[in-house]
Structure 1
Amino acid sequence: MGGLGAPEIILIIIAILLLFGGKKIPELMRGLGKGVKEFKDAQNSDGSSSSSEEKKA
């Protein structure tokens, strides 16, 4: 009840295709991937800076 099943996911994919078209989707995914990568890099740099400070102490 209230979960996303296969029919809902297929409907969402069709809606995205209709809204953005086939040519625009790779650009959107590329941008999303870059955003996720930057987010992970920022998390790693924050974590590594605090651990390096602990090693110095």
Structure 2
Amino acid sequence: MTKLLEKPSQPADDDCCGGGCSPCVWDYFYEDRKAWKDQQTLLAQEAENTSNNDESK
């Protein structure tokens, strides 16, 4: 199994300087949050498949 990702924390209000940096701390947050959400969806699907397989036995 791949490494479980921790739910990313939203940056603090003062973490972004507002200077239009690229990438911004928000860019990293959104990227990390998407990866975490994708992994959570996959884990839920795997759990559902396992549950369905157990029920069919």
Shorter chain as denominator, the TM-score bin is: 0.5 to 0.7
Runs of 4+ in structure 1 over 3 Å off = none
1:21 deviates by 1.4
The total of aligned residue pairs comes to 37
Structure 1 length as normaliser, TM-score? 0.57
Give structure 2 stretches of 5+ with no counterpart.
1-19
Give structure 1 stretches of 5+ with no counterpart.
1-19
RCO higher in structure (CA 8 A, sep ≥6) = 2
Among the aligned pairs, what percent are the same residue? 3
More helix by share: 1
